[in-house]
């Protein structure tokens, strides 16, 4: 199938005048998104000038084929401070939802969404509870060279298929979570304080969902043994770390059962060819009966979930 044609919109630097007329830059990121029609079938690139855009952004369903492009992730930032208990947004709760679901700085519901070289920040301070930087409830979405900043529930990969490459994701509690199929490749996962990296919510063995971290690095704050690789938000949660370097911040036990021993019979958490200095850490899995088949001594073997994601393909 032929790729849709490209249309380019521009967003003015934060605080400057912009009208969004023919050839003019839009005053806000949301104004540029609003200019894309529902049912869009044309790749629309929204170019953001360097600066900090202090606004929530909502990409509705059927506003497909949108690309948000920044000059660099360090220079181009979208920041807001909603939390699950306090949401300030132009959209009503009937549109964006409530609680954790509705508190994202950026909420993506349009398919074939791409973001390049942008920082997505939830600036709510530590201790604010759930405070999402990005929620993705859409299929075939990709993020390249982006940063996701926050504390608890930073990146909500809720539904669909996502690909992240060369991204930086930070937090402390369940800061990559949801029930999508996601491949995170060459990403930097930074653990700011004690907690859990992932919380995958797969609810049954029939679901094909799961997170794969491929050739990533996990770093911490200099302390040892304070972060779990993940815990099952749903009883069949599925996460794989493959060819990933793990700093000493990772606990030797690796995984947590969310204080439910029955999760150990259903959840599938696995490490494949992990590297790093974690004392006493034994690469393995929680929920042995339901794990993907991984052969530690075969460099040619690729787990089926990883292969599915790699074969799926994402186009920029």
Q: Per-residue pLDDT averaged across 40-57, rounded? A: 98
Q: Per-residue pLDDT averaged across 87-113, rounded? A: 97
User: What are the CA-CA distances from residue 98 to residues 4, 59, 84, 189, 251 (Å)?
Assistant: 34, 16, 7, 27, 33
What CA–CA distance (Å, rounded) separates 116 from 314? 13
| Percentage of residues in the chain having pLDDT higher than 70 | 84
Per-residue pLDDT at 102 exceeds 80: yes
Per-residue pLDDT at 258 exceeds 80: yes
Instruction: Give the neighbor-by-neighbor strand order of the sheet with 114-116.
Output: 6-11, 43-48, 66-69, 114-116, 141-144, 161-165, 181-185, 210-214, 238-242, 268-272, 285-286
Protein fold of 178-316: Pectate Lyase C-like (2.160.20)
| CATH H-level, domain 1-159: superfamily | Single-stranded right-handed beta-helix, Pectin lyase-like (2.160.20.10)
Residue 196's pLDDT band, with cuts at 50, 70 and 90, is: very high
The model's pLDDT over 103-162, given as tens digits with 9 standing for 90+, comes to: 999 999 999 999 999 999 999 999 999 999 999 999 999 999 999 999 999 999 999 999
What CA–CA distance (Å, rounded) separates 144 from 46? 15
Comparing C-alpha atoms, which of 294, 296, 316 is closest to residue 307? 294
Single out the catalytic residue among 81, 174, 247, 311: 174
Strands 268-272 and 285-286: antiparallel
How much is the pLDDT for 21?
Answer: 56
For 278-312, give the DSSP string: -TT----EESGGG-----TT-TT---HHHHHHHHH
Specify whether the CB–CB gap between 70 and 35 falls below 8 A.
no
Q: Where are the domains of the chain?
A: 1-159, 178-316
The model's pLDDT over 197-216, given as tens digits with 9 standing for 90+, comes to: 999 999 998 999 999 999 99
The model's pLDDT over 281-314, given as tens digits with 9 standing for 90+, comes to: 555 555 533 443 333 333 334 455 566 555 554 4
Annotation marks residue 174 as catalytic: yes
Which segments within 49-154 are labelled E, that is strand?
Answer: 51-54, 57-59, 66-69, 76-80, 106-108, 114-116, 119-122, 134-137, 141-144, 147-149
Specify whether the CB–CB gap between 269 and 229 falls below 8 A.
yes
What CA–CA distance (Å, rounded) separates 67 from 44? 6
Annotation marks residue 139 as catalytic: no
Single out the catalytic residue among 81, 112, 153, 247: 153
Specify whether the CB–CB gap between 175 and 167 falls below 8 A.
no
Looking at mean pLDDT, say which of 16-20, 217-221, 269-273 comes out highest: 217-221
What CA–CA distance (Å, rounded) separates 78 from 266? 38
Strands 6-11 and 43-48: parallel
Q: 261: helix, coil or strand?
A: helix
């Amino acid at each position: 199938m032929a790729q849709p044609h490209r249309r380019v919109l521009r967003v003015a630097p934060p605080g400057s005048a912009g009208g969004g007329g023919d050839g003019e830059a839009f005053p806000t990121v949301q104004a540029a998104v609003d200019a894309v029609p529902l049912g869009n079938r044309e790749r629309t690139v929204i170019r953001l000038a360097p600066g900090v855009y202090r606004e929530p952004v909502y990409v509705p369903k059927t506003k497909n084929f949108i690309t948000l492009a920044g000059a660099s992730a360090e220079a181009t930032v979208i920041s807001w401070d909603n939390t699950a208990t306090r949401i300030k947004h132009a959209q009503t709760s009937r549109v964006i939802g409530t609680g954790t679901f509705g508190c994202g700085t950026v909420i993506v519901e349009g398919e074939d969404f791409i973001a390049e070289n942008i920082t997505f920040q939830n600036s709510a301070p530590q201790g604010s509870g759930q405070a999402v930087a990005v929620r993705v409830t859409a299929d075939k979405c990709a993020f390249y060279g982006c940063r996701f900043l926050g504390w608890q529930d930073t990146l909500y990969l809720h539904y669909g298929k996502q690909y992240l490459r060369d991204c930086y994701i930070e937090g402390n509690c369940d800061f990559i979570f949801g029930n999508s199929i996601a491949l995170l490749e060459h990403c930097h996962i930074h653990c700011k304080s004690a907690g859990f990296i992932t919380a995958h919510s797969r609810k049954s063995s029939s679901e094909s969902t799961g997170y794969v971290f491929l050739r990533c690095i996990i770093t911490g704050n200099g302390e040892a043994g304070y972060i779990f690789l993940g815990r099952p938000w749903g009883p069949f949660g599925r996460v794989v770390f493959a060819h990933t370097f793990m700093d000493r911040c990772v606990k030797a036990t690796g995984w947590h059962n969310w204080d439910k021993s029955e999760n150990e019979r259903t959840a599938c958490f696995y490490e494949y060819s992990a590297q790093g200095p974690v004392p006493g850490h034994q690469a393995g899995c929680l929920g042995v009966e339901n794990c993907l088949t991984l052969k530690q001594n075969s460099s040619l073997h690729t787990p089926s979930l990883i292969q599915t994601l790699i074969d799926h393909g994402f186009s920029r």
